[in-house]
Structures are given as structure tokens and as C-alpha cells.
Amino acid sequence: MTSIVIPAHNEGVVIGRLLDALLADTADRDPGEGDIVVVCNGCTDDTARVAAARGPRVRVVDIPTPSKHTALRVGDEHARGFPRLYVDADVILGAADVRALVAALDKNPELLAAAPGRDIPLTGCAWPVRAYYRVWQRLPAVREGLFGRGVIAVTEAGHARIAALPPLMADDLAASLAFGPRERRVVEAARVVVRPPRTWSDLIKRKIRASTSSAELERVQAAQASQATPSATPAPSAPSARTGTADLRAVLRDRPGLLPGVVVFVVAALAARRGSRKAIRDGDFSTWLRDESSRQGSA
């Protein structure tokens, strides 16, 4: 049985659309086809009520701790089977997309993890946000990695790999980097809708969070490498999804017309680096700068 774990912290405005999409074409199918567990963590809104109203296919677990990592582990305790999907409450994923991910894992025994192709609707976003995402979506790490999609599907063996990860703000990035290129796949036949921030200030919030969480991940990687490698032996480079100047130059070679977008991308990266400096210096890897504009007007 496929299990879907949805951690949700104050997502009452958006979680209904995700659950409706997951349940939309399953009425005539085996009711045991899928198992959906919504873990409401530290919610002060109506997330639990909205989720429970979707019927018996959706099991709601309410915990007092506002922690995504804790919610994922609690979800694992209640989930019934594999493959297992972890899905953010603010994305949109349909039942057919779930089946496409499961089919990809079932067909290839080498695959331990998979994620859907990403659709980012930019209508209604400020022009710098649109310019930023037109560049971001073309970066090799973004195209090939499992992060930034709000969905990751794993086999039982893949689950063991990510369950061993420490609690990190960049949980989806860490999960993506935990698998080698032959062990993970982006399944373009499956699609997820990821709503971007609408405003420049909310984009910078997301970027500061990404910069801070990447720094935390790199600290953990460095600590693990120093423990595993004798001091006389250079530690191997840890996998990374950082964007380099070579990546941006490659984008411009392919699409020279994206020069304004590359400029916006660099400005956003510099702003995020400045904004994350204090949190990184203080070791504050728990303050979650949440973008609310992507949730506005959602049903």
C-alpha cells in the first residue's frame, strides 16, 4: 500500500486543495489503494478540521510541536506502507501523479527515490519574481535534484536512507543529496504545482531561508567528514546544490535574452546572503521565514 505523509503547520487555507487533488479520481478505485496521513504540528488554525472533512481516506494526527522534522517522524509511525510519499501541504499533486511516481519506483529496482516534474505558475507575480524563476528553473541542480518540489517518494530502502538524516531546515535538499544520480529520478510524467512567492520581499524571505539552511547542511556535512576521515587525509567533497558563476554563464550561453533575469538572480542571492548572515553566525537554524503571498487567494 502506498502511504502519503503530509506535515502541516497552519495550512488550513491551502491543504484542502491538495487533499481534493489526491482524492479526485479515486472514488471508483480500491479504497486501500492509498493511505493519507496529515500531521498537524503546532497548528493554531483549522488545518485539522479541513483535513478531517475530506473523509475516512485521510487520517489526521495532531501534535503540539511546531516542527516539520517531528511531524515527518510521527507520520512514519502512522503510515502503513511503501512506497511512501512526503508531500508539503502547500503544493498540488494529483492521484495520477502519485501513481506515476510509484510506477517509476516499482519498475526500476535501482531507484530509491523519485520526485515529480515541477510547474511554477508565475501569473500574478511581480516581474522580478518572474525573472528570477525563469533563470532558477534552468539551473542543472534545480532540474535534476529532488528538492524544491514539495514531494519526494521513496522505497523502503530509500526511507531508511533519509530516516538516518539529522533534523535540518533544508530537509528536502538533504534528502535529494542523500541519493546518487542512479538512485534518484525526476519523473516528468508526474507533475506537481508549486506556487511561487508573488512579491519581491517574499522571494527574499525564501532565499534567506534557503541560504541559512544550506549553511546548516554544509556545517553538518563538514562535521561528518571530519569525523569519518583521518586528519591527514583530505575529506572528499560533499555533494552540493549551490549555484556557481559557471551555471549562470551556461544559462546565458543558451538563452542570452535571460540577461536581465540573471542580474535579478544575482541581486536576490546577494540580498539573501546578507539577510542570512546573522542567523548563520548565531547558529539560528530554526527560525522559519514563511512566504505568505504564495498562499493568498488559495482555496
* pLDDT values of the chain reduced to their tens digit, one per residue, 299 residues: 999 999 999 999 999 999 999 999 765 455 545 799 999 999 999 999 999 999 999 999 999 999 999 999 999 999 999 999 999 999 999 999 999 999 999 999 999 999 999 999 999 999 999 999 999 999 999 999 999 999 999 999 999 999 999 888 888 999 999 999 999 999 999 999 999 999 999 999 999 999 998 988 888 888 878 777 665 555 455 566 678 999 999 999 999 999 999 999 999 999 999 999 998 998 887 777 788 888 875 44
The span from the CA of 146 to the CA of 113, in Å, is 8
Query: What's the gap between Cα 162 and its chain centre?
Result: 13
Query: Are 148 and 268 in a shared domain?
Result: no
Res 27: pLDDT: 52
Query: Are 28 and 153 in a shared domain?
Result: yes
Q: Is residue 267 part of a domain?
A: yes
In terms of C-beta density within 10 A (0-12 exposed, 13-18 middle, 19 or more buried), how is residue 276 classed?
Answer: buried
Q: Is residue 132 part of a domain?
A: no
Q: Is residue 254 part of a domain?
A: yes
Q: Is residue 129 part of a domain?
A: no
**Closest by Cα among 99, 139, 131, 121 to 1:** 99
Q: Confirm whether pTM is higher than 0.85.
A: yes
From 193, 228, 257, give the residue that closes a domain.
Answer: 193
Query: Are 114 and 248 in a shared domain?
Result: no
Res 235: pLDDT: 47
Residues 6 or more apart in contact with residue 129 via CB below 8 angstroms:
122, 196, 197, 198, 199, 200, 203
SS3 content of the chain, % helix, strand, coil (to 5): 45, 15, 40
Query: Are 61 and 147 in a shared domain?
Result: yes
CATH number of the CATH domain containing 98: 3.90.550.10
Range of the structural domain that residue 234 is part of = 200-295
Query: Are 248 and 170 in a shared domain?
Result: no
Query: What's the gap between Cα 24 and its chain centre?
Result: 23
Q: Is the distance from CB of 24 to CB of 94 less than 8 angstroms?
A: yes
Query: Are 170 and 78 in a shared domain?
Result: yes
Domains in the chain, number: 2
The span from the CA of 286 to the CA of 63, in Å, is 18
